[in-house]
Chain A
Amino acid sequence: MNASSLSEALPGALRKLDPRALLATPVLLVVEVGALATTVMAVLDPTTLSVLVTVWLWLTVLFGTLAESVAEGRGKAQAASLRALQQESTARRLRPDGTEEAVPSTALRAGDRVVVGAGERIPGDGDVVEGVASVDESAVTGESAPVIRESGGDRSAVTGGTVVLSDRIVVRITSEPGQSFVDRMIALVEGSERQRTPNELALNVLLTALTVVFVVVCATLYPIADQAGAHQSLIVLTALLVCLIPTTIGALLSAIGIAGMDRLVRRNVLAMSGRAVEAAGDVDVLLLDKTGTITYGNRQASELLAITGVAREDLVDAALLSSLADETPEGRSIVALIGEGRPVPAGATLVEFSATTRMSGLDADGRRVRKGAASAAVQWVRDFGGQASAELDELVDRVSSSGGTPLVVAEQRGDGPARLLGVIHLKDVVKEGIRERFADLRAMGIRTVMITGDNAVTAKAIAAEAGVDDVLAEATPEDKLALIRQEQEGGRMVAMCGDGTNDAPALAQADVGVAMNTGTTAAKEAGNMVDLDSDPTKLLDIVEIGKQLLITRGALTTFSVANDVAKYFAILPAMFVVAFPQLDVLNVMRLSSPESAIVSAVVFNALVIVALIPLALRGVSYQPSSATALLRRNLLLYGVGGLVAPFVGIKLLDLVISLIPGL
């Protein structure tokens, strides 16, 4: 936040001063009514006190609307660039007879089929029904590398506004005009269609109740104080009222919500509703796909195991030789493990991996090396006069049961008998730091369940290494759905991510369903969030953002209420000290005069809103930890801080304000 973003937000803030716009924020509405009342009084009886109080009450309302306006402004730039995608273009619609007709892109309806060629903009959201193309989606995702979109399967969804780079595809449009993905994104980042979330509404009720209490307190104080012989002016009572009602949180509440959505957008996650963001904070169970989330996508060589009687160098050499020309990630990882590459020997013949041989290798200088599945390699050795080995079988079993994949290495020199050399241990590599993140999640009370198609033994081994709490092995989409239902039956909230069409039921059933942007339209529509980066690990970030949003709300509410204590110490003695001089002992801040004390409290109350706008936009800092630890920390910071800060602030303001003549 800086001066320019403030000044840009000002016109919007002024528009929001319309009382009808403030109906949703009763706290600010009360301040505005108070400001109107003091304006009338200041006009009728202009004193330094009445004028100052009036000015600062108006500023209080303005700062409140400004907070919301600034939060909204942050999405404006992003919305503008998205709007550029929506410029009207001409689409080539296919008639039922297969001929093309030119129609404006805005006239397309769901179900229409359009042809898009190289260099053309895709006119609307849809699924590829014919052909393959590389598509530039950078305008939506920010990722500059083109992606492949093809008919059928899980890579068929295209987004309106993205550009086809090569080839020609036929797209069946799936969205009605004005309801496309980009339309929704624009509405989201602008906050124009923001609906207040359940917790925000509930908090608003509590804030309204507090406001009502303080209205009653101040209204009844007028006759009661009269009776006690300490007559109060309406200006002072209005000032007291505005200081007591929770203006800080009331003013910042909607800004916090908008900023929470904005934080997600900045991480390239689009939440279809604010409700989903809040639900993310409440999640109890995370379903995580193994591949891509917990492990890197590929298996990697971790160990070479030679059988007795084979020199280790022979195994290493054969393993390296067989992998030199192997461009698969597994093959490269073997070279990387051994540590030194060398050029492929001249005249060598490559043996490619095939589903029937289940082996790959290389023939050079009369030497033939092979690596592959255990049964295939043993068969190959037998075929060329070699012998099976019980020890090798043991090694293979050992690798399998530890969750790894064994690759057997064999060779044949000249016309001699082939022989088995040993085993390469390929293992799923758990992502770095993932174990710590799961530990954090556990401390937060969130259980992680790993979903994998692997068999139970392999799955358990990886689960143990990654530190997840539970495993769903050999999982089918139905199993996923059943697991989600079962957790929800037990009252737990479930989050998951997915991309395939068969993930759609589970995504829809989960409380937080994050669809990958590379996924199918069905998946994207079923989930309540879309990750433009298609990074399943982001689920963890989403949970943290949800929690941070709620914590920010709670922290600022606590701060706001705690502030009232100090304001009482400033205003009450100021109000009553003329009638009852003994109340001066309550003036613990030793404020210079009653008028100065009242003005200082009002000014503090207004300035604290502006001071906290950055915090509301950024969110309070959040460290994953247990509820007790979080509570203790935030209570100390915002509860105790909220008690102390206004004492200091009001005192400092008083030192300045007391210099104003007439106070």
Chain B
Amino acid sequence: MSDVLPAIGQVLLLVAALAAAVPLLGRHLAHLYTSPRHLRVESAAYRVLRVDPDADQHWRTYTASLLGFSMVSVLALFGLGRLQQHLPLSLGFAPLPSDGAWNTAVSFVTNTNWQWYSGEVTVGHLMQMSGLSVQNFVSAAVGMAAAAAFARGLARSQRDGRVGNFWSDLVRGVLRVLLPGAVVSALLLVALGAIQNLTGTSPVRTLTGGTQQVTGGPVASQEAIKQLGTNGGGFYNVNSAHPFENPTPLSNLLEIFLMLVIPFAMAWAFGLIVRDRRQGIAVLSVMALLLGVSIALLTWSEMAGPGTAPHAAGAAMEGKEVRYGEAGSALFGAVTTGTSTGAVNSMHDSLTAPGGGVAMFNMMLGEIAPGGTGSGLYGMLMLAVVTVFLCGLMVGRTPEYLGKKIGQREIVLVALYVLTTPILVLTGAAIALTASDGLAGLQESGPHGLSEALYAVTSASNNNGSAFGGLTSGTPFWNTLLGVLMLVGRFLPMIFVLALAGRFASQRQLPPSAGTLPTHRPLFVALLSGVALVVVGLTYVPVLALGPIVESLS
């Protein structure tokens, strides 16, 4: 059991680092999403964009700005992919097929970063840097902006549906958080051994005497924002398992820290924006609780879980890198699915059956523990509204959250939000498992084949982007299906979130009393966790039973 101590040690180290960083970053985030002042460089950016950063936008305008910006991004990325052979630094790669370009464009704009291709042999440096990397920044900032707008909606009173300014949220998120954060972490990653250059492929003679083409590139810089922005689209096909992306156990821990820091800090910032820090801490506690449980379960199932192959081999090391070991891979796996990152440092297809189930369940939770940058916060807050509605009645008042009444119109928006992703996942899985084109992509039949397909549609609909492996997804069928799931799964819920933000901003803020359901106490933390688990559990248990659960019990 000598593996146990380092397994616990790395978690403790991670917790300590987060405990130090989250309040600081949270305060910074709360300030930047509420302050009226602009930096000089930001004012310049607004002039270039020709937008008024001081306009307090109605939620409809805010949403239109957000969607317009994102759709333009999809088109631009699609163009870059289709035309890359005509552009510099393409390394001589061919244009992406149209279904592939669609999938990639949607994938990066939706912060999903599902990759149907091998980055190092498909995408040139220009597209990596000016397309994919740029989206790594702005797609993360878009999620944070939506969450900030929602928090402001809750904090405001009688503001006629106005929730803030999208352009200033976007620019500030990029310039004041993501860019500086990415620069610092890129430097740290380089210091830890990640590469950063603009060289093409170079032949290398391997130990066994063969030759291998190794592609260089701006890896560390993309790695930093890939983790920090919970993106997950790796420079290399094997993602964070590649030694150039993630060279050591220490860099592994750094990458894990980067995935978690903004989602948790957003929860902290939420408390400050609504002027009640305890509310933020409660939300953060639910995220931490759910993540903690999944880390424990995944680590247990990898280190001691059932399975014929791991028992025969003595350890579940298939698909894992020796330099991270079982615990380092399990921790990364739980965090990358708990956040909406989707980067991988081991092959999730090779996780033990219960481990794969935990990773899948993490995504099914709707990416709320702690979820993507911003999207995790608003996802959790939507569930908080459901919890308040279900349990609030039991204290004998019509339900309210942070002084905002949850009436019919509010609950319609929440219901639509909660419905969207399960419908996408389940219908997506049903389509994939009935269409011959879908079945053609599966590597295995029976429960594991079902898990492969289920994992892919879950990952896409929840904007995670991690792949189970085993699935050959680069076909027109899968590219199109997953592209649709990613696009709808990202923006439809966001529209409901922003509409609800507008409703809340219009409402008067009711003062709390001893008769209102307190939403900062441990009881509420337990309730919210319970509701998240039950709502998700009831939705997905039947399909999970046929996939990972059957496999686990074999």
Contacts and interface: CB of A to CB of B under 8 A. Distances in A.
Interface of A: 198-199, 201-203, 205-206, 208-209, 212-214, 216-217, 219-230, 240, 244, 278, 281-282, 284, 442-447, 490-492, 546-548, 550-551, 553-555, 557-558, 561-562, 564-565, 568, 572, 576, 580, 582-583, 585-586, 622, 626-628, 630-632, 634-635, 638
A635 B433 CA distance: 40
Contact of A442 (B395, B427, B514, B550): B514
B415 A205 contact: yes
21 contacts: A202-B389, A213-B418, A216-B422, A219-B430, A224-B543, A227-B433, A229-B446, A282-B397, A445-B513, A445-B514, A491-B508, A550-B396, A550-B397, A550-B398, A554-B393, A561-B390, A568-B541, A572-B542, A582-B550, A583-B553, A631-B395
Interface stretch (B54-62, B244-252, B258-266, B404-412): B404-412
B517 A217 contact: no
A631 B394 contact: yes
Interface in B332-348: none
B390 A627 contact: no
A221 B543 contact: yes
A491 B527 contact: no
A563 to B, nearest CB: 11
A227 B427 CA distance: 14
B304 interface: no
Interface of B: 386, 389-399, 403, 406-408, 410-412, 414-416, 418-419, 422-423, 426-427, 429-430, 433-434, 439, 446-447, 449-450, 508-511, 513-518, 521, 523, 527, 534, 537-539, 541-543, 545-547, 549-550, 553-554
Nearest to B545: A572
A268 B541 CA distance: 50
B391 A635 contact: yes
Contact of B523 (A230, A445, A628): A628
B398 A198 contact: yes
Q: What secondary structure prevails in chain A residues at the interface with B?
A: helix
A213 B386 CA distance: 15
B278 to A, nearest CB: 14
Nearest to A441: B515
Contact of A547 (B396, B399, B523, B553): B396
A98 to B, nearest CB: 54
Enumerate the 9 nearest inter-chain pairs by beta-carbon distance, A residue then B residue, closest first: A554-B393, A445-B515, A547-B396, A445-B513, A209-B415, A445-B514, A554-B394, A582-B553, A220-B430
Contact of A548 (B396, B408, B514, B516): B396
Residue of A208, A227, A548, A564 with most partner-chain B CB within 10 A: A227
Given A206-B389, A572-B545, A576-B545, A213 B447 contact: no
B427 A216 contact: yes
Given A281-B398, A551-B396, A216 B433 contact: no
B430 A555 contact: no
A627 B430 contact: no
Nearest to A244: B538
A1 to B, nearest CB: 23
Contacts of A576: 545-546, 550
Contacts of B386: 206
A84 B516 CA distance: 45
A401 to B, nearest CB: 33
Given A216-B427, A550-B393, A224 B546 contact: yes
Given A224-B543, A227-B433, A576-B550, 13 more contacts: A202-B389, A220-B426, A221-B542, A223-B430, A224-B429, A224-B430, A224-B546, A228-B550, A244-B538, A446-B513, A491-B511, A576-B545, A580-B546
Contact of B511 (A212, A226, A278, A490): A490
Residue of A209, A224, A492, A582 with most partner-chain B CB within 10 A: A224
B450 A213 contact: no
Contact of B426 (A205, A217, A284): A217
A446 B406 contact: no
B415 A634 contact: no
A137 B426 CA distance: 64
B433 A213 contact: no
B405 to A, nearest CB: 9
B437 to A, nearest CB: 14
Contacts of B521: 628
A562 B545 CA distance: 19
B408 A445 contact: no
A338 B186 CA distance: 93
B394 A558 contact: yes
Contact of B396 (A212, A219, A622): A622
Given A216-B426, A548-B396, A205 B408 contact: yes
Residue of A228, A557, A585 with most partner-chain B CB within 10 A: A228
Residue of B396, B426, B430, B508 with most partner-chain A CB within 10 A: B396
Contacts of B423: 212-213, 216
B118 to A, nearest CB: 28
Contacts of A550: 393, 396-398
A558 B538 CA distance: 14
Contacts of B511: 284, 490-492
A264 to B, nearest CB: 15
A546 B521 CA distance: 26
A213 B422 contact: yes
A572 B389 CA distance: 29
A94 to B, nearest CB: 49
Contacts of A492: 510-511
Contact of B546 (A225, A445, A630): A225
A565 B393 contact: no
Given A554-B394, A630-B395, A217 B550 contact: no
A443 B396 CA distance: 13
Given A585-B553, A628-B523, A638 B408 contact: no
